[in-house]
Amino acid sequence: MKKLIVITAIVICILGFKKIRDVNISPEEIKTAINKSLPLLQSSSHTFLINAEACSSCHGQALGGIAFSLAKENGFAVSDTIINEAMDSTYNKWKSRIELLAQNDDPVAIVMSGGYDLWAFTASGYKTNKIIELLAQNIMRRQNKNGNWVSPNERPPLEYYSFTATALAVKNSQQFAPAILKNEVTERVDKARLWLTKTVPEANEEKVFQLLGLTWAQGDKDFIKQQSGKLLAVQHEDGGWSQLDSLPTDAYATGQSLYALNQSGQLAADAPAYQKGISFLLKTQYADGSWRVKTRSFPSVPFVESGFPHEGDQFISAAGSHWATMALILAAR
């Protein structure tokens, strides 16, 4: 009887090891996927700017600036011209609104678009100046009394959730607010940290940006670990995450979940759960280098053709492809 138990235990261990080993993807596979997605994302960023007459976007230039810079840092081929074009167009957009920024009266969705743009400036090493500082200060002072920031737009998932707006505001306030406002920044970050800790996230995007926001705000490490466990717990059997419980897994939710778990220090890129997520991304990538993500928002701005695949889903698919590419890059190190 004891011999049977021992043999059974050995078999279970072998099968368990095989399951983990099977999701350990080779670096070559990961690099191949990245080298398929990057050219498409770069060309669509350029095409969007041409067709939008240099008006930048969150899904193309902001997330693009973050993803392209991460790729370049890790030795992947990225055009400096594309990065500079994306960041310069983003900067010029805010430069043209200098009077509104100075009056703290910008009617555009400044909290979300500005939040993503400032993150892209940081990621790309864009040289700061008074206009960028003014943008950060403008957003910082839109904080609510309870400590959070809100999105004025209803364009889920990219421009919708207070967790996203709050996390980005925390990161950017600390990065760009003038030194003279140091005490104000500290006070606002403290309030935001408390809100991020006390408020219960529901959608996957909220769970992701709660982790990122608390990481950027130097939140309680035990609480971050606890919340990362909850995000890990909703990983699907296929290795992916879904934006909502009622939706299937996709590259957007999966890429940003892997990114947040890794950047918060809670999941190494070689961990079985991370490798399982990478396996999902590799299996769902299209031959053209993209991932398709179904849109959840109703059109509220004029459509601009970017040359990215998937027709009416191209904006969110580009965003999802950026997140997927960033998750892959972290695993290719």
**What are the pLDDT digits (tens) for 110-129?**
899 999 999 999 999 999 99
Residue 21's pLDDT is what?
42
Specify if 9 maps to a domain: no
With a pLDDT cut of 90, the percent of the chain lying above it is 83
- Beta strand segments in the chain, E: 241-242, 249-250
Residue 54's pLDDT is what?
64
d(CA 254, CA 256): 6
Q: What 8-state DSSP symbol labels residue 180?
A: G
Specify if 23 maps to a domain: no
Q: Which token pair is 70?
A: 């991460």
**Mean pLDDT across 170-178:** 96
pLDDT-based confidence at residue 108 (cuts at 50, 70, 90): low
Specify if 12 maps to a domain: no
Burial of 29 (0-12, 13-18, 19+ CB in 10 A): middle
Chain segment 243-288, per-residue pLDDT in tens: 999 999 999 999 999 999 999 999 999 999 999 999 999 999 999 9
For residues 70 and 326, is the Cβ–Cβ distance under 8 A? yes
d(CA 151, CA 18): 45
| CATH number, domain containing residue 306 | 1.50.10.20
Q: What is the dihedral of CA 313, 316, 317, 322, to 10 degrees?
A: 170
Specify if 110 maps to a domain: yes
What is the reported pTM? Answer: 0.92
**Mean pLDDT across 218-239:** 98
Look at the block and give the residue holding tokens 């207070």.
Answer: 162
Q: Which residue has the higher pLDDT, 56 or 18?
A: 56
> Does the pLDDT at position 56 exceed 80?
yes
pLDDT-based confidence at residue 55 (cuts at 50, 70, 90): confident
For residues 187 and 135, is the Cβ–Cβ distance under 8 A? no
Half-sphere exposure of 57 (CA within 13 A, CB side): 24
Burial of 19 (0-12, 13-18, 19+ CB in 10 A): exposed
Q: Kindly state the helix (H) or strand (E) to which residue 277 belongs, with its residue range.
A: helix 272-284
Domain region containing 248:
28-331
Q: Which token pair is 203?
A: 């959608």
d(CA 253, CA 242): 5
Specify if 18 maps to a domain: no
Specify if 16 maps to a domain: no
> Does the pLDDT at position 72 exceed 50?
yes
Q: Are β-strands 241-242 and 249-250 bridged in parallel, bridged antiparallel, or unpaired?
A: antiparallel
pLDDT-based confidence at residue 22 (cuts at 50, 70, 90): low
Q: Which residue has the higher pLDDT, 22 or 158?
A: 158
Residue 153's pLDDT is what?
82
Q: Which token pair is 100?
A: 């509104």
Specify if 14 maps to a domain: no
Domain count, the chain: 1
Specify if 61 maps to a domain: yes
pLDDT-based confidence at residue 3 (cuts at 50, 70, 90): very low
